[in-house]
Amino acid sequence: MLPDLERLIRLQRLDTTASDAQRTVDAIPSRIDTLDARLTASSAAVDDAKGRLGDKKSERAAVEKTLAAVQTRLSRFREQLMAVKTNKEYTAMQHEIATAEADVQRHEDIILEYMLELDDLTAAVKTADAALTASRAEIEQTKAALLTERGELERTLARTAAERSTLTETIGAQARALFDRVSKQRNGIAVVEARNGLCLLCNVRLRPQVFNHVLLNTELIQCDSCNRILYHDPNSRTAAAPTVDAP
């Protein structure tokens, strides 16, 4: 194989590895943001449940206060009943007492309803709290894994950059310039395998004499359609591919 072609293939592999690693690294902050947003939502659900519980408790306290006032009034009426002088006063007082008793009953019923609602709201707080604890643990774990992954990817990037700079020094100026130009034009992919008469990236069918030259791996041949530098990989045999030994 032409030495420069072999080096360009390796250079392309390094670039592809680096660009994959870089893309993953670049996506990590937004993945962390998504995790943080989930945590914020879980935490807000707990606050919301606690808020509803607190509101209901305040409502109950207000009803209890009213009930206490009604009970005080009822006791006073009962005391006054002892002191009445006339039948008319007695009847009027009994009427007051009956009204107050009904009022007490009504408020006690409301408090009973509130107790049931408070049970539900307390259970909701507990559920939301448990969900928050679980998601916090899971999110912390995922974040730690992401940071580990980022560390590994950054080491990969450093390693590929070092290998790249050593490798490029060994490549002829013309081949390097061609690689750089095509790579820039073609989204970082300058070298691509041709197989079964096709450029494997743009899928265009190569003219037979072009493909026959590619099979030899002795020249830098570009795809007519995408301009990428083509090579033949003798290890990726398929039924339709003619077998040509690389020189």
- Positions that interact with Zn ion (CB under 5 A): 199, 202, 223, 225-226
Residue 58 tokens read as 């305040």
User: Minimum Å distance from CB 242 to Zn ion?
Assistant: 19
Bridge partner residues of 193 (DSSP)? 231
**Smallest distance, Zn ion to C-beta of residue 178, A:** 15
Contact criterion met (CB below 8 Å) for 64 and 94? no
The answer to whether 235 and 223 are in contact (CB under 8 A) is no
Cβ proximity to Zn ion, 170 vs 203, nearer residue: 203
Rank residues 199 and 220 by Cβ distance to Zn ion and give the closer one: 199
Nearest distance in Å: CB 184, Zn ion: 16
Closer by beta carbon to Zn ion, 171 or else 199: 199
Q: Which is nearer to Zn ion, 119 or 180 (CB)?
A: 180
Whose Cβ is closer to Zn ion: residue 122's or residue 222's?
Answer: 222
Q: Least distance (Å) from Zn ion to the CB of residue 42?
A: 49
Do 52 and 124 form a contact (C-beta atoms < 8 A)? Answer: yes
Nearest-approach distance from CB 224 to Zn ion, in angstroms = 8
Nearest to 9 by CA among 174, 173, 179: 179
Q: What is the three-class DSSP state of 186? A: coil
Tell me whether residue 11 or residue 192 sits nearer to Zn ion (CB atom). 192
State in angstroms the smallest separation of the CB of 138 from Zn ion: 45
- DSSP state letters, 17-37: HHHHHHHHHHHHHHHHHHHHH
User: Cβ–Cβ contacts within 10 Å for residue 70, how many?
Assistant: 20
Residue for token pair 């448990």: 130
Q: How many helices (H) and strands (E) does the chain have?
A: 4, 4
* Token code pair at residue 11: 């250079």
